[in-house]
Amino acid sequence: MYRTLLADDDFLVRSYLKTLNAWNKAGYEIIKDVQDGEEAEAFMESEQVDVLITDISMPVMDGIELIRKIREKNSGIYIIVLSCHDDFEYVKEAMKLGADEYILKNTLDEDNLYETLENSARLIEKRKQQFHRQEQNRKLIKMGSHAMKYHFFNGLISGTLKGNLREEKRAEAGITGKFVNSAVICMFVKKWPLIEKQWSPLEIEQYSHNFRHRLIEKLEEHLGAENESGEVICLGTGIYCYFLDLSGICKSSAMRQRLTEAAAVCYRFCCEDFCDMGIGVSGICMGEDGIRQAYQQAREMMKLYFYEKKDVLYYEDDERVSTQLPKACGILLGELPELKNKKDSDRIQKLWTEVTEEAWKLHTEGRLLIQWLKKLDHVAELEREPDFYDRLDGFDGLKKTGEAYSEELLKKEKEELPEGISPAVRCAVQFVRDNYQKPISLQDAAGAADVNPAYLSYLFKQEMEIGFSNYLQDCRIGCARELLVNTNYKVREIAIMAGFSDYHYFSRTFKKVTGLSPAEFRKNGCLS
């Protein structure tokens, strides 16, 4: 049924027209009748109307003015003019302004109206199809120009596009917004590095295209004309920005309301996506460089997701991420080889606590902390799953990693022992690992394992496939290798720390095992 609005100041005419069966028979429904153009315009602002039947001569606002206003806003409504013989000049004006059909009031009857409505129905359907094709073409053109729009906004963000060149490129890209006053909403896939590893390039391209297309439709659906000057741009690496033009709004409160409404639409849309999304929202920024500032603010909020668990993060002046690593990060990285050899778990955990406390206080950028953790694991010789760092759940994940760090190191050492090793040899191995920096002997290890030294020597060789003395020497040389590469201690000091009481004996033994003197080994900086 075509939703029809009837506008005529003559109550009797309206009453007569509503009694005719031709409306229902031809597929029309009169949903409202009004007495002037002003009432008709107000009704159409809140209700969908397919067909308008309007008189030309009406008080307050006549049919001519009503048609003019309708065509300025919506070319899709089908307009039929009611007129008398002496209104012919007005009829011509109405047709010129965009009326589709006219009916003489004195010829109106059931059959005449039905014939007019039947002919109009075919034209209405044809217009709807044409309007739909135009809308589809408009959307395709808008989607197809993404590359040009991407380069335009990339130029604004980098600060390389200004003045006349900015306006020239804006026109070329078909961007209607002036972006003098602006804001930016950044949406991003939280675990994008994992997706890049799991999906093919084609799958990533299809996802990004569909995400942008669906978001544009959602914004148009909920914001309507308010969305016309906004642009959705895919910046790559799982980041999608809604650049919001606020140039046509004067009051800051109205700008804030528009931004909040847009952020709410983006949030609801992201909740429906199968990827876990985060949203960072800028403040309202003024001037030609405002959009660059707004983008930086939104990206700042994205970085804060490492610490915050809110659905949407709005920019505040006192919220910043720091590019400064906690001092404890450097201390732990430098001391770890020695602490590992000494099994000083208390010191390791103390430094880790300082790292997390200071990182939280500074809000150190998460990317920097994860890079630091990779270096720490390398020094500790800790091997993790390939995607461990990509899956790290923000600051909470970093904190849990720190809390378990000493345990991970000890677990690694325990797992290195051969399977099926006897309790006596296991005890001797642990004794050596805990005490190799001291002047210990086979007798000391046998005492710790509560077995005969000769029996322990035989058993150790059988199960560990290396003699006790050589194993003790390997532990000491391994400690020296790490200290040479990862610390600034003097070679003589390292010899003592590794358990060698005689410096010259240490130097000879070290070169015999590694093929290099301690000084040469440090210069090469290699643990392999």
pLDDT of residue 310: 83
For 288-400, list the strands marked E by DSSP. Answer: 312-314
pLDDT of residue 413: 56
CA distances from 161 to 145, 186, 297 (A): 18, 21, 19
Single out the residue of 525, 526, 518 nearest to residue 491, CA to CA: 518
Check whether 281 has a pLDDT greater than 70.
yes
Say how far apart CA 480 and CA 519 lie, in whole Å.
11
C-beta separation of 52 from 40 below 8 A = yes
pLDDT of residue 449: 93
CB atoms near residue 100 (< 10 Å):
17
- For residue range 430-439, what is the model confidence (pLDDT) as tens digits? 899 889 989 9
**In this structure, what token pair is assigned to residue 345?**
């778990």
Single out the residue of 187, 189, 192 nearest to residue 387, CA to CA: 192
Who contacts 308 (Cβ-Cβ below 8 Å, separation ≥6)? Answer: none
* Stronger pLDDT, 381 or 121, i.e. the higher one: 121
- In DSSP notation, 259-277 reads HHHHHHHHHHHHHHSSS-E
- φ, ψ for residue 228, nearest 5 deg: -55, -40
Burial annotation 453-486 (CB, 10 A radius, 16+ → b, else e): beebbebbeebbeeebeebbbebbbebbbbbbeb
pLDDT of residue 440: 95
- Average pLDDT, whole number, for the chain? 87
Say how far apart CA 526 and CA 428 lie, in whole Å.
30
What length is written for the chain? 528
191-195, 260-264, 328-332, 372-376 — which is least confidently predicted?
191-195
Q: State mean pLDDT over 41-46.
A: 89
pLDDT of residue 39: 93
Say how far apart CA 21 and CA 62 lie, in whole Å.
27
Q: State mean pLDDT over 96-105.
A: 84
C-beta separation of 227 from 248 below 8 A = no
- For residue range 73-99, what is the model confidence (pLDDT) as tens digits? 766 789 998 887 666 777 778 888 888
pLDDT class for 448, splitting at 50, 70, 90? very high
N-terminal to C-terminal alpha carbon distance within the chain: 81
- For residue range 217-275, what is the model confidence (pLDDT) as tens digits? 899 888 876 666 789 999 988 999 999 999 888 888 899 999 999 999 999 999 999 89
CB atoms near residue 160 (< 10 Å):
10
Single out the residue of 409, 449, 452 nearest to residue 431, CA to CA: 449
Q: State mean pLDDT over 148-159.
A: 89
Residue 231 pairs in a beta bridge with: 243
CA distances from 513 to 467, 507, 525 (A): 15, 10, 16
Q: State mean pLDDT over 128-138.
A: 70
Who contacts 427 (Cβ-Cβ below 8 Å, separation ≥6)? Answer: 448, 449, 450
Residue 6 pairs in a beta bridge with: 33, 53
pLDDT of residue 19: 92
Judged by DSSP in three states, 236 sits in strand
- What pTM value is reported for the model? 0.56
Burial status of residue 44 (CB atoms within 10 A of its CB: 0-12, 13-18, 19 or more):
buried
Identity of residue 200: S
SS (H, E, C) 178-204: CCCCEEEEEEEECCHHHHHHHCCHHHH
Check whether 148 has a pLDDT greater than 80.
yes
Single out the residue of 142, 446, 189 nearest to residue 302, CA to CA: 189
- For residue range 403-420, what is the model confidence (pLDDT) as tens digits? 888 777 766 555 567 778
Report strand pairing: 28-34 vs 182-189. unpaired
Q: State mean pLDDT over 144-163.
A: 85
pLDDT class for 528, splitting at 50, 70, 90? very low
pLDDT of residue 314: 92
pLDDT of residue 139: 58
C-beta separation of 425 from 460 below 8 A = yes
pLDDT of residue 356: 94
